Each structure stands twice: as C-alpha cells, then as structure tokens.
Structure 1
Amino acid sequence: MTFWKTFWASMLGSLVSGLIIIGIFFLILRSIVAGFDAMFEDKKLVVQNDTVLHMELNDPLGDFTTANFDPSTFSLQKQFGLMEILEGIEIAKEDPKIKGIFLHCDNIAGGMASVKEIRDALADFQESGKFIVSYHENYSTSAYYLSSVADELYVFPSGMINWLGLGSELMFVKGALEKLDVEMQVIRGSNNKFKSAVEPLLYTEMSEANREQTEKFINALWDEMVDGVAKSRNMKPAYLNKIADSVLVRQSGDAVDVKMADGTMYYDEVLEIIESKVDSLESTDLNLLSFKKYALKKTKEQRTLEVLDPKNIAVIFAEGEIVDGNGKPGQIGGTSMSEYIRDARQDSTIKAVVLRVNSPGGSALASDIIWREVVLTREAGKPVIVSMGNVAASGGYYISCAADKIYAQPNTITGSIGVFGIIPYTGSMFENKLGVTFDYVSTNEHSVLSLNKKLSEDELLIVQEGVDIIYDDFISKVGEGRNMSKAMVDSIGQGRVWAGSDAIEIGLVDEYGGINDAIDYAAEMAGIGEEDIALQFYPKKKKNDLFEFLENIEEMDNQTSIQQTSQLELQLREMYGYAQSISTQNKYQARLPFLMWIK
C-alpha cells in the first residue's frame, strides 16, 4: 500500500511539474512573440519617391494569402493570394511614388487562370503610363506568358525561354497495385465515359475518351496563351506555333532573333535600364521594393482603415478539394463552407455573395450540402455570383451551378459533371504478402462491408444504383440552375472536362472575367455603388501571433532560400496524396477525372 501511495504521489508530482514547465514555456514564448509584435508594430512600410516594385512570384499562388504552420519543420507553408496581388497592383497604379514594376519570374506555382488575371491587371497598370520591365535567367512557359505583357523583356545571355507548347502527362499505377495484390473496385455513372479519375488505377494508358477530352482542353489553354503573347509582342499566332513546332528558340539569342525577347543582358545591365527609366532627380540610387511586401502591407493598411465600415458584399473562398466535415487548410469542408455561406445569408448588412471556386471537386455529399446553402441564399433575396479560378470542375461545378451568374477565364478548367465510387479490396494483399486472413460473422447478408472482403454482385449493383442516382440528381440541379434540359446537361456531362472558352459556348459559364468582375456585378445586382463596396472575406482571417512572429523573423533575412525538390519527388508526393484522398473520401465522389501534370 505504501508503495502505491508513493508511486501515485510521484506520478502526480511529475505530471504537475510537467504541466508547470509547459505553461512556463508557452508564457515565455508568448512574451517573445509579443515583444516581436511590438517591435514590428511601429515599423511602417516606407515607400520612397521613384520606387520600382520588384515582383517575384516564388510562393505558390492561391486565391488568398495564407500561412499554415507545419510542426514537422517548424516553418510556415505559405501561399501568396491572388486578391492581394491584384489589389497590390491596383494600389501601385494609383501610387505616385511607384514608377514601374520589375517583373522577375522564372516559374509560377499556380494555375493559368490566375496567371491571366495577374497578366490583365499588369496590362491595366501599364495603361496608367507606368512601365514594366521583365528579366530572368530562364523562363518557363507560364512565366513567359505572364512576362510577355512587359514593355521590354530581357533574358540572361546563356539563359533560355521554354516555348515548346503544352503537354499532359498522366501517371498510371495499375501495375504497381497488381504487384501488391490490391484490387480497386470502381463504379462510375452508367454513361460517364469521360469520368476518368479512376483510370490510373484501372489502366496502363489513357482511354480514347480521356485522350479526346484532354487534347481538346489543353489545346484551348495553349491557344489562349498564344493569343495573349501574340498581342503583347505584336506577333502572329501562327508564327508562335511555328517557333514551338520547330524549336526555333534553342538559346537566348534565338529568342531575340524571333522577337520573343528584346535583348540578352546580365542582371546589372537590366537594373541600369530600369534606372534610366526612373530618371530620378532626387537620388542616383535605384529604389527597388519587394512587390510582395508592398502588396501585403498596403492591402493590410487599406483593410484596417475599412475595418469599421459595415460590409455589404461577402467574398467566400472555396479553394481545394471538397471533403466532409470542416476539412483541413487547403480543403473545402462541407460543414465549414456551408457555415460561411449561411453566416453571409443571415448577416443583414451583407447584400450579395461572391463565391470564388477553385476546386477539382471531391465528396458528393459535401458538395450537395454547400449547393443547398447557395440555393437558400438566393431564395433569401441575396444575389450569388460565382467566380471560377483555375479549376471549378465536378464537385466544384456542383457548388457553382445554382448561382445567379458564373464568371470564368478562357483557360479555366470546368465541367466534369459526373460521379464515381471506389472501394479498394486489400484482402489478397494481406493474405498473399503478409499471411493475414480474415473471417466474418454477421446478422444479415450485407452487414460486413470491409476493405478485406470483395463486394458481391448484388452489392456492386447497389453501389452502381447509388452512383446513378447521384449523377441523375447532379444533372437535374445543373439543368435547374442553368435553365437547361436534363438531356442537354447529360450530353455535355458524362464526366467531360471543358476549358472555359468551350464552357461559355455550351452554357456552363455566362461570361469571361475574374474575381473583380464578379464583385462589380454583385454590387450592381445589389444596388451598391462602386465607391460604397465593402468586402467581408470568408474564411475570416484570425490574428495569430505565432504566425506573424515567424513571418517577421523571415523578413529579417534578406536572402530568399528556395528549396529545390526533384520533379520525381514532387510527382510521387502528389500521386500519393491523390490516391490517399480518393480512397479516404466517402464512397461517392464528384471529382475532376484525372491527376495530371501540364508541361
């Protein structure tokens, strides 16, 4: 008895001591964070006269700026938001201290629709009479598409411009699954021949239907890029295609010869050109300022000034795969997203809603929950306008179809109106690879549904019926929202993917435009004047001292370190995440029909 008294007393003492130590640690950390916050609080962004903004898009592009803490690396996983980029360019256009932009991008981690919105904003910046000069050692295809908007474009003497066209690469894992004795039991909508999300699990190459739709939409994406470059560089689209087909740009000098670049230069020489454009009388030094720092600080200042204004338009970001529940950062949770829309509907000061959709889809159940909230918001008399980003397909289109109006870019990927179910069978793997077997006792014929037990013919028919019911409901809702017959929706559905340029012709999209166009139209429908627009963003940004502390620490380091990861590693990570995602969702999914890399 004495032993146990001593034991439990010691355990309790250790536990209390541990909690005290942890508490002291967090108090100290909180004090440090508060100290840094105070130190940086008064550090205003000083913009000198004749400043040139240095625009580098190194962080992944998202619809809104985020910084999610990764405890495994004790670092922030960040994305630079399109809203802040567009707003930053607009503020710079009106800022008399800003003379121009130095565009310095070699590769862009973002979709082409977002790139087009940035490109259009830069073109508008030029209309104010301010210059844009672009330079880099190497330009990827997407970076060149963006950079070609510049007044002058230069490349490193031994650098390169990648202009070979677009290609689509899909990874198939059927052979790997066979080696592991894993069988995927897949059920698609009865006529969903284009719904090819499951093809990597079933085949070793593309089906003809998938090849057909992929060729069509990547050609549409390429045509949009070619047209944009042709207009900016005063070239003919046919000649730009000839350059790609014949690989006429093999070194930087070739880019100058074919008029895709204005010269080959070193970094210091480009800075001299920029300095000559500024022609400052106050200083002989070139004032370069990080565009990212400028955009984030200026948008924060502007929103701080507006914080007391009653908000009248809700801008709700639906970015990522659609999942049940609240979801994680980078996902659209059916529960959390419906709460955002409901909150906007029930807020009497909010007069209209803009739903920004950037999603390949996911859970059919969560998509339906979100769709219902959109319908209820419209029924409450509040306009709902959808702005599609890089992709708004399958479940992403499901949650969009009930809106009053849908905006998209020509290079938005949308459609994919279809459904599938997937149930892995792992029983053979456990038995043949590990010697593990399973046995069952049940009260009824279908009581045991397990990954280690194959579905019977009857069970497969039940799942097939469920998939077909959801697909029928899907096309019915699209028909209702888009004022189309169910037969018409089915003819353009069946899981088929469309580029925005085609989607507008077949009635899935109403008009070309970006998120600002959607906001302007929402204001018009709600009777709100342009000067009276006040935006409420969802999810609402919460102040996080630790995140700001880490960001401030990063700002103290002027050297930007970009971690290089092999292409193979990136693809394997993405493929694993994709396989994990489609395997852990509920059994019915409305998802973009493939995972691919467009190069």
Structure 2
Amino acid sequence: MWQFVKNTLSNILGLFLFSLLSILIIAGIGTVMSESDAKVEIKENSILRLDLSHPIVENANSEENPFADLLGPFVENAEKIGLIQLLDAIERAKIDTKIKGIYLESTMPMASYAQISEIRDAIEDFKKSGKFVISFADSYSQKGYYLASVSDKVYLNPNGLVEFSGISSNPIFFKKAFDKLGVEPLVFKVGKYKSAVEPFIREDMSPENKEQTLSYLNSINSFVFDKIARSRNLSVPTLNTIADSLWSFRPKLAEQKGLLNLAYEDQVTDELMKLVKVKEKEDLEFIGLNSILKADSPIKEVESSDKIAVLVAEGEIVGTKADDDAIGSENFNKELRKLRDNKSVKAIVLRINSPGGSALASDNMWREIQLAKKVKPVIASMSTYAASGGYYMAMGTDAIVAHPATITGSIGIFGQWFNLDNLMKEKLGITKDQVKTNAHSSFMQTTGALSDFEKNVIQQIVNEGYESFTSKAAQGRKMPVEKLKSIAEGRVWTGAQAKQIGLVDELGGLKTAIQLAADKVKLKKGAYKVSIYPKKKMFLEKLLESSISESKITERLIQKNIPWADAMLEINRIKNREGLQALMPYLIELK
C-alpha cells in the first residue's frame, strides 16, 4: 500500500515539475522572441562586425536563434548565415551614415569561392562610399584570406599563419572497402567524364576525371589569384611563388611578401578607435549581422507593388517534399506556380545552388519552369553549384547568369545498383529465397545480382535519359544537339568556362541576374521590390514544424563529433538515392 502511495505521489510530483518546466521554457522563448522582434537603434560611429564563423547558405530560413547551441542538431539553419541577408546588410551599412566601416572576421569561412566572391564584390562596392574595411584573424584559411584581401588592411596575429597554397580537390574512394565487405557496385552511365560513380568502382581518379578536375581547378585558382593580386598590389606570378614556397605559413615572411600586416588584436582595436575617433575601448560601437537587419533600413522603400521574385533552390534534388538541406520537386513546383500566378511578380530569378540529384525530379521542375516562362521571364542565377540536375533546372530558363567560380555543366545521367549477395551470405550468414510469377518479377526489388538482360535494360534507360537531357539542353541553349553533346559527356565546367562554350549567357552574381530580369520587363531601378522565396519563418514556427527525427539528430551529431563523418554520411545518402541520378561527380569541396 505504502509503495502504491509513494509511486502515485512521485508521478504527481513529476507531472507538476514537468508542467512547471514547460511553462518556464515557453515563457522564456516568448520573452526571447519578443526581444528579438524589437527594433535595433544604430548608434553613431558604429562598425559593422561580420563574423563569418558559421556555414553560409543562400537564404537563412529562420530568425536569429537564441538556442542555437542547444537546439542546433534539431532545427534547420540554427547556426547558418544567409548569403542574401549578408549582402543586404553590407548594402545597408554602405548607405547608413551612422556606420563608419566594417570589421571583418574571416578566419575560415564555410562557403564556396563563388559565394565568397559575391561577398567580396559587395565589400568592394561598400568601399566606394569611402568607409574603411579592416580584417583580423589569428589565422586564415585560403578562402578566409581571399575574402580578407579585399580589406584596406589585413591583420594577422604575429604567431598565426595563412593557408595559402593553391586549390585542391581530394575525393574519397570506397572500392576497397566494398571489396572487403563483399559489396559489388554496378554502375550505368553515359559520358566519359561522368565520374559520380568512380568512388564506388575505382581506387583513384580516371584520366578523364583528372583532366576535367585540373581544368576547373586552374580556372578557379586563376580567378582567385587575379582578384587577390589586384587587391594587394601584387603580381599573379608572385602569388604563385608564395603558394609554392609555403611562405604564408611563416607570418614574418607573409608580411615581407606583402600579403598582410602583423598585429595583436588589441593593436587592431587601437586602430579601430582611431578610425572612429574614440578614446576608450568601451566607446567602440559594434553592430552585428542580425542586429543591422532588425534596424530601420536606410534603403529607400519602393512604393510600387511590382516585384522581382528570387526563388532559392538549394541542396540535392529529391522527388518529394524536402527540408532546407535539399530541393524537393514538390515544394519547388508549388512555390513556382504561386509566383507564376502572382500578378505583382513581373519576373522570376531562380537562385540555384545544387549539385543535382534525381533525374525525374529535375525533369519535373524543368517542366514547371517551361510553364512559368510562358507567363513571365525566368532567369537562372548560379551560386556554388548548378551542375547536372542543377543545370537541368537552369537550362529551361530565358537566360543563365553564373559566377566565374561556379561549378556547372556535368550534363549526364547515371544509375547505380549494389549487389549485396556476398555480404549477406559470406559475411553475415544471411540467405534468401524467392518465388516469382514471371521471368523478372523481382527486377530492382532485391539487393542481389542482376542478369545480363536486366543490366542491359538499365543501361538503355540511362541512354534514353541522357538523350532527353541533351536534347532539352540543346533546345534551351539554341544549339545543335551534336555541338551540345561535344561539351556534355558529364563534364564539369566553371562558370567562366561555361560562358566561353555557350552553356551560360552572362557572368555575375545574384545582383546581375536581378538586373537582367528587371531589364527583361523594362523595370527601372527603384521601380520594383525584390522579394525572396520561400518566405522566411520565425524561429518558434520553425522549431514547432521541424521533423526531429532520429536520423536527422544522428546525422548532425555525427558531423560535429566524428572524423570521416562526411564519408560515412555520403555512403548513407548513396543508399537512399532512388531512380536515375543527374548528379555531379561526388560533392566537390575545394580547399
């Protein structure tokens, strides 16, 4: 009896404490959210502080998250910077008379060369206002230094280093691991450069893959080195010598060669005090990215209801609804139809940052783009990637704008299959049997071997998919099919190379694409608004609708804490892919 009473009282107490804690959490979130909604007042002689230590995505779909450290594994974009929001902040700082300069912290920006270049261009434009830009870091990655080099002064801790040694790509191959496990990868592709399948069937890069990789690496490296040379008043040959000699890893040599100046953080603080004419460190007024976006914008509000819509499509392409890490054709098509039917939207800019994905989903989105451009102009703006399925989307638009450092092309399709019979039987001791009504009733329904006939069927499907892809690409680019095929073959190009061979129309960033869209509908600057889609959601709304699945939590915790996490997660993504893939050669990460 006494045990029953104890258990009952314990349950009541536990329920009471849980309810009390829930009320306190909700009240706390409400308080924080009301504070985050409050307008920020920019003080005189302020400095815009740009801390680029978090991953940069195209559009941050949540408000500033005060619980980012706690909820990061569960909520999309909890710790991410939106490129669109960042460019907006720099533009505001340029115009706002209360802001005197930018203090740039770009130790190791988690962004691509294309994204960093757009930020760099915005800062160059900011400098035209006569305001200062100062950069400081204890150390710089090559991307960090590339961005910092646009500053009036680049400062490095006297005991720091700069990772300035050129650009490399370092793919991982799984063939030996599959051999040991008893897994037989079967691949079906068209195009000698379509190397997305190489990590499964080779131990190294094919000659064709090395050829294309070196080509696009040299293209991006030349672009980056030229930009740095102009900013630092150095020659490109000098920069190549510095890179080959690894002089930047020795701070005094880096200073002697003209890359930067050495100073401790307190010395940089003293310089900032002089620039804004204050005598005490406490009088320095810094304003961050989120705060400046909450302040009243100095940009004159457009009275017209006319809009240029920017529809952001970022991530791998999948054939369903998707979260912020992928492009779901269902979500995308729904948004595009809304913009097509919206009378106030005069033109649409598709901001694409995708390595590709499902061929079927890519084709479904291509079709929706065809329908939209019958109603109003549709312009593609390429970011880091717009390759394979990403290019499939872009080729259906009225015009394509790419950044010189964009990775694009990869026009090709592949299929993959994994025979797990040996793994199951020899390694795990698992056997199987089957009963079927027709010769191929189990075709693509098991993880076993395929007959020669079945392999031939899959290859024919891939061939037909490639013919469809290339014919539509030729139609979109107004190019003979044979000429298009000569630059297809799954080959990857940079934006600069793609412009030369006719795969894109103009070089530039999002700003260029928006201007091109406005020109198409004869809208003058100041006569239209720019609206970003999908619409941003409040943090609490995002939290409530987040799918806090076990797999989502596990993936994010693995990425944070386990070496080789990306390779492990890539294998998992491979396993989950269905149907034919219009995907670039693995996920290219340039360092």
Query: Residue 278 of structure 1: which of 265, 276, 279 is its match?
Result: 276
Alignment partners' CA distance in 1, 2:397 and 2:331: 19
- Of 504, 508, 511, 2:503 maps to 508
Letter paired with 2:458: V
Residue equivalent to 1:573: 565
Superposed CA deviations along residues 436-479 of structure 1, whole A, max 9, x for unmatched, are 11111111111103343211111111100110111000011110
Cα 1:484–1:158 change in 2 (3 A) is same
> 1:70-110 CA distances to partner (integer Å, 9 max, x unpaired)?
96856663210111111100000001011111112110101
What does 1:314-393 align with in structure 2 at a 5 Å threshold?
314-380=309-375, 382-393=376-387
TM-score (norm 2): 0.89
Counterpart Cα distance in 1 of 2:148 and 2:385: 22
Residues 311 and 536, structure 1, Cα contact 8 Å, conserved in 2: no
- Aligned partner of 2:30 in structure 1 is 34
Structure 1 residues 268 and 488: CA distance shift in structure 2, 3 A: same
Shift of 1:223: 0.5
1:204-243 aligned at under 5 Å gives the runs 204-243=203-242
Pair 1:425 & 2:419 matched: yes
Q: In structure 2, do the counterparts of structure 1 residues 304 and 167 end up closer, same or farther at CA, with 3 Å as the change threshold?
A: closer
Alpha-carbon distance between aligned partners in 2 of 1:38 and 1:566, rounded to the nearest angstrom: 32
Task: Tell me, yes or no, if structure 1 residue 496 matches structure 2 residue 495.
Answer: no
Contact 1:422 1:583 in 2 (8 A): no
Hey, what does 2:475 align to over in structure 1? 480
Matched-pair contact (CA < 8 Å) for 2:558–2:565? no
1: CA distance, partners of 2:116 / 2:232 = 17
For the 8 Å contact 2:332–2:365, the answer to whether it is kept is yes
Q: Conserved in 2, the CA contact under 8 Å of 1:352 and 1:522? A: yes
Instruction: Work out the CA distance in 2 between the residues paired with 1:567 and 1:248.
Output: 32
Aligned 8 A contact 2:347 2:518 in 1: yes
Aligned Cα root-mean-square deviation (Å): 2.9
* 2:105 counterpart residue number: 104
**Distance apart, 1:529 and its partner CA:** 2.4
In structure 1, C-alpha distance between the alignment counterparts of 2:537 and 2:171, rounded to whole Å: 39
8 Å contact 1:423–1:451 — kept in the other structure?
no
Deviates more, 1:28-37 or 1:249-258: 28-37
State the alpha-carbon separation in 2 of the partners of residues 403 and 308 from structure 1.
Answer: 29
User: Is the Cα contact below 8 Å between 1:417 and 1:474 reproduced in 2?
Assistant: yes
Counterpart of 2:198, as a letter, is: E
- Confirm whether residue 598 of structure 1 aligns to residue 590 of structure 2: yes
Match of 1:224, as an amino acid? F
1:86 equivalent in structure 2? 87
CA positional deviation for 1:517: 1.3
Alignment match of 1:536 (pick from 528, 531, 541): 531
Question: Alpha-carbon deviation of 1:29?
Answer: 4.5
**How far off its partner does 1:350 sit?**
1.1
Match of 1:453 in 2: 448
Measure the CA separation in 2 of the matches of 1:545 and 1:304: 28
TM-score (norm. length: structure 1): 0.88
How many Å separate the matches in 2 of 1:388 and 1:73?
29
Partner secondary structure for residue 469 of structure 2: helix
How far apart are residue 327 of structure 1 and its match? 1.5
Deviations 1:348-386 (A, max 9, x none): 221100000000000000000110111111112x00011
Note the C-alpha offset of 1:185.
1.1
C-alpha displacement of 1:346: 1.2
Q: 1:441 to 1:408 in 2, by over 3 A?
A: same
Q: Pick from 575, 578, 583 the counterpart of residue 575 of structure 2.
A: 583
What are the within-5 Å matches in structure 2 for residues 39-188 of structure 1?
A: 39-42=35-38, 44-67=39-62, 73=73, 77-188=78-189
Contact preservation (8 Å) 1:357, 1:387: yes
Change (3 A) 1:48 1:594: same
Change (3 A) 1:539 1:585: same
Q: Which runs of 4+ in 1 moved over 3 A?
A: 17-32, 38-42, 66-77, 283-286, 301-311, 546-549, 563-570
**Distance in 2 (alpha carbons) for counterparts of 1:579 and 1:228:** 37
**In the superposition, relative to structure 1, how do residues 119 and 279 fare at CA in structure 2: closer, same or farther (>3 Å)?**
same
Residue correspondences, number: 562
Letter in 1 for 2:577: Q
In 2: Cα distance, 1:566 partner to 1:365 partner: 29
CA contact (8 A) 1:322 1:367 kept: yes
Closer, same or farther in 2 for the Cα pair 1:38/1:250, shift >3 Å? Answer: closer
Matched residues in 2 for 1:573 and 1:41: separation? Answer: 37
Note closer, same or farther for the CA distance 1:243–1:461 as it changes in structure 2 (3 Å cut).
same
Does residue 435 of structure 2 align to residue 441 of structure 1? Answer: yes
Q: Does 1:294 align with 2:291?
A: yes
Map of 1:521 onto structure 2: 516
Could you tell me how far apart the structure 2 residues matched to 1:314 and 1:19 are? Answer: 49
Query: Deviation at 1:286?
Result: 4.3
Flag the 1:305–1:426 CA change in 2: closer, same or farther, 3 A: farther
Kindly tell me: are residues 196 and 18 of structure 1, through their superposed partners in 2, closer, same or farther at Cα, counting changes over 3 Å? farther
For 1:501-548, what per-residue CA distance to the aligned partner results, in whole angstroms no more than 9, with x for missing partners? 111000011111111111121112122221122233221223342669
> 2:397 — aligned with what?
403
Report the alpha carbon displacement of residue 302 of structure 1 after superposing the two structures with TM.
4.7
Q: What's the CA shift for 1:306?
A: 6.7
Question: Partner amino acid for 2:575?
Answer: S
How far is the alpha carbon of 1:578 from its aligned partner?
Answer: 2.2
Secondary structure (helix, strand or coil) at the match of 1:169 reads coil
| Alpha-carbon distance between aligned partners in 1 of 2:275 and 2:181, rounded to the nearest angstrom | 63
* Among candidates 267, 270, 276, match of residue 269 of structure 1: 267
CA contact (8 A) 1:51 1:286 kept: no
- After superposition, give the CA deviation of every residue in 1:306-357 in whole Å (9 maximum; x if it has no partner): 7997452211000000001112221000111111111110112211000000
Q: Deviations over 1:131-189 (max 9, x none)?
A: 11111111110011100001111111111111111111111110001111111111012
Distance 1:520 1:19 in 2: 59
Contact 1:424-1:451 within 8 A present in 2 as well: no
Structure 1: state its 5+ residue gaps.
1-16, 550-562
1:157 match: secondary structure: coil
Which stretch has the larger CA shift, 574-583 or 486-495?
Answer: 574-583
CA contact (8 A) 1:157 1:252 kept: yes
CA distance in 2, matches of 1:565, 1:366: 28
1:37, CA displacement in angstroms? Answer: 2.8
> What is the alpha-carbon distance in structure 2 between the residues aligned to residue 460 and residue 565 of structure 1?
36
Evaluate the alpha carbon distance shift between residue 19 and residue 303 of structure 1 in structure 2; reply closer, same or farther with a 3 A threshold.
farther
Cα distance change of structure 1 residues 86 and 72 upon mapping to structure 2, 3 Å threshold: closer
- Write the letter of the residue equivalent to 1:586: E
